[in-house]
Structure 1
Amino acid sequence: MSADSAQEKAKRSAGAAPVVCEHPPLLSAAAGPEPPEPPVSASKEPTCGHGRPGAVERRSAAVPGPGPSADGRVSPAGKAQQGLKERYRLGSLLGRGGFGSVFAATRLSDGAPVAIKRVPRNRIHHWGQLPDGTRAPLEIVLLDKVSAGFPGIVQLHEWLELPSNVVMVLERPERSQDLLHFIWARGFLCEEVARHLFRQVLEAVRHCASCGVLHRDIKPENILVDLATGQAKLIDFGCGTYLQAAAYTSFAGTPSYSPPEWTHLGWYHGEAATVWSLGVVLHQMVCGEHPFRRGWNSTWGRLSLPRRLSPECQDLIRRCLSVLSSERPSLEDLSCDPWMQDIRVP
């Protein structure tokens, strides 16, 4: 067992007993311990990867640095940074990784909690165009396409391009926890709770597809749970790209959530890879652990599921994790699955 797997097992063992099923809102304080500030990515596993397909451009144009300009006035970038400090009060660090850093913050005008994500410009390699013609990092372009008015995806309030960083101000539920820590605190989730959350994640993923966006890094760390309302939100589009019918031949995301066709053949289709990662997430919800935490080869064709799971739940997980991508259900098939509808097949 790797060091990371041992740490995960220890954390699960230290967690509370499995959650007792109840009707939504399911995620009140009574359902588990008071959460810590949610990290953006608890996994030490590297995310994203090589270039993303799609019509995007690299951008290397210099931006004026902060401080006084030659005529004694504050530069536009300096004013933007100063304005950010005047509008938000920065709080604790929520997460740090290859993408940059995310901090809790408070909007001073109304006291609303927000998250401020800071990404170094030298780590942004792909840019696109917003509807008004503004050039922006691809992550922001994708968020703009999918988030407005859709509750299952984190909302982007504003963004700023500074000399060394791009800053995003994002929605942050006041009491929230990423799904990985939500599971760890309970050991595993009963099927009712898992279904309630999984439906929302699937709805968010289908919404992304309808907007022509592929997330590519669906995992519990990238699903935020509002503990007051039970709302699940898909976050972090930093590995995302435009959805295409053709196969992708470059990978972006978290390796342990990549489908076998990428591992063994070097290509994958967007929908089939998404369904695979959703199957891994569902397994983590109801079993409390990653199905392939000891490696793909050691579990080839031998996916063992607890007997306490309903036949419908077991069938759905196995179909999502079919070795052949052609045997996995489509996103539409998933939404109509008997387990998703809470229908028991005699």
Structure 2
Amino acid sequence: MGGHQWLGRHRRLWLHLARARPQPQPWLLPGPAEDTRVAAAPAAYAAAPPARAPPLGSAAAGPELPPSRSTERTPGAGKAQQGLKERYRVGSLLGRGGFGSVWAATRLSDGAPPAAALGLQVVIKMVPRSRVRHWDELPDGTSAPLEIVLLDKVSTGFPGVIRLLEWLELPNSIVMVQEHPERCQDLHHFIRAWGFRSEEVARELFRQVLEAVRHCTSCGVLHRDIKPENIPVDLVATGQAKLIDFGCGTYLQVTAYTHFAGTQSYSPPEWTKFGWYYGKPATIWSLGILLHQMVCGEHPFRRGQNISWDHQLSLPQRLSQGAQIHLIRWCLSMLDMERSSLEDLISDPWMQNIHQP
């Protein structure tokens, strides 16, 4: 179901949220360093970019981005023959860390008349080449960082995944230009501001995340860092949730992984105990944590807590049996073979009980 179709069925619910919502906050970077084994390259975006921003390269603006060769991977994204200075006006710094830096920007020209993309809000993500650990080839044979190759596979023609508009390679860094959903707030801030959400709201958002994950796996891509910070939601126009930041992603494989990338507090118990995990069950575990955060307002396991194999998950009595037993407990089964499949989650009766206004 498309975003506008979804809005038609849930307009009153989302308009109520939009009127009462707190002021949008910038999307945060991941938590403390001890919470990650391999730090993601987070696409941290501002919820509300400034109306006017200084020209790229000015003293008040962001980094100097000289004209350079560029390769656009998304059809219709523009010719990319001009330098970034001619095509983008950079605004505020949204995040900086070991991964590099992320800047808000406005597209000034798409390089071809008519300039249909004028005024498009984007983010410019700059990653030092030294931080790029894995490279692969795009369909045309171009060598590119794995994050870009994965985005090329999943971000075209599907609204639930952030869209890569273009990328280019500079001598010391990789630059990615991605779409910037307007008037959005990531689920991390959404949960912090509101606490737990009603099962109706959680169900709609969770359904969209499941569809995005299913799309990625159907393309042979494993995200590996599903968490609230990586899921912005348009709270006003469409109610669309998007999956962002494929910096920890890899190819989906049937054999076990022996290297972890992502946020440690979302890693499955088999990784902690044995040092291996399978992609699909590990994804279901992180989805169970996400759903728990949505309906309970907090992570189910305290930071630093060792999860024992006989661990009994405590859930509020107010939750329905569907949310309690068939989903959260199912996703957070200690044995990976006992966890639900993605298709089981999507077809679960609780997920199918979509509110009809």
TM-score, normalising length: structure 2? 0.79
Gaps of 5+ in 2: 1-9, 40-64, 70-81, 110-117
Cα offset, 1:26, TM superposition: 5.8
Q: Could you tell me whether the CA contact under 8 Å between 2:225 and 2:249 is conserved in 1? A: yes
1:297-346 deviation per Cα after TM superposition (whole angstroms, max 9, x unaligned) = 267512111111111101110110000001100001110112111289xx
Q: Distance in 2 between matches of 1:130 and 1:333?
A: 33
Cα offset, 1:209, TM superposition: 0.5
Q: Which residue of 1 aligns with 2:93?
A: 93
The 3-state SS of whatever aligns with 1:322 is coil
Q: Which residue of 2 aligns with 1:256?
A: 265
Alignment of 1:116-265 (within 5 A): 116-228=124-236, 229-265=238-274
Q: Could you tell me whether the CA contact under 8 Å between 2:183 and 2:234 is conserved in 1? A: yes
The 3-state SS of whatever aligns with 1:37 is coil
Q: Which residue of 1 aligns with 2:54?
A: none
Q: Could you tell me whether the CA contact under 8 Å between 1:247 and 1:267 is conserved in 2? A: yes
Q: Could you tell me whether the CA contact under 8 Å between 1:38 and 1:176 is conserved in 2? A: no
Kindly indicate whether residue 285 of structure 2 is the aligned counterpart of residue 297 of structure 1. Answer: no
Q: Distance in 2 between matches of 1:334 and 1:153?
A: 19
RMSD: 2.2
Q: Distance in 1 between matches of 2:12 and 2:152?
A: 33
Q: Distance in 2 between matches of 1:99 and 1:194?
A: 31
Q: Could you tell me whether the CA contact under 8 Å between 2:107 and 2:121 is conserved in 1? A: yes
Q: Distance in 2 between matches of 1:167 and 1:85?
A: 13
Distance 1:265 1:156, change over 3 A: same
Among candidates 26, 35, 40, match of residue 24 of structure 2: 35
The 3-state SS of whatever aligns with 1:89 is strand
Counterpart residue type for residue 179 of structure 2: E
Q: Distance in 2 between matches of 1:130 and 1:306?
A: 47
Q: Distance in 2 between matches of 1:48 and 1:86?
A: 39
Q: Distance in 1 between matches of 2:296 and 2:214?
A: 24
1:199-231 deviation per Cα after TM superposition (whole angstroms, max 9, x unaligned) = 000000000000000000111111111122210
Gaps of 5+ in 1: 1-20, 51-76
The 3-state SS of whatever aligns with 1:340 is helix
Distance 1:48 1:301, change over 3 A: closer
Q: Distance in 2 between matches of 1:90 and 1:125?
A: 27
1:235-258 deviation per Cα after TM superposition (whole angstroms, max 9, x unaligned) = 000000000000111111111000
Distance 1:329 1:303, change over 3 A: same
Which has the bigger relative contact order, CA under 8 A and spacing at least 6?
1
Among candidates 309, 318, 321, match of residue 308 of structure 1: 318
Q: Distance in 2 between matches of 1:26 and 1:339?
A: 24
Distance 1:247 1:336, change over 3 A: same
Among candidates 119, 122, 129, match of residue 114 of structure 1: 122
Q: Distance in 2 between matches of 1:178 and 1:295?
A: 24
Q: Distance in 1 between matches of 2:307 and 2:278?
A: 24
Distance 1:25 1:310, change over 3 A: same
The 3-state SS of whatever aligns with 1:151 is coil
Counterpart residue type for residue 101 of structure 1: S
Distance 1:27 1:130, change over 3 A: farther
1:120-151 deviation per Cα after TM superposition (whole angstroms, max 9, x unaligned) = 10000100111111110000000000010100
The 3-state SS of whatever aligns with 1:232 is coil
Q: Could you tell me whether the CA contact under 8 Å between 1:37 and 1:176 is conserved in 2? A: no
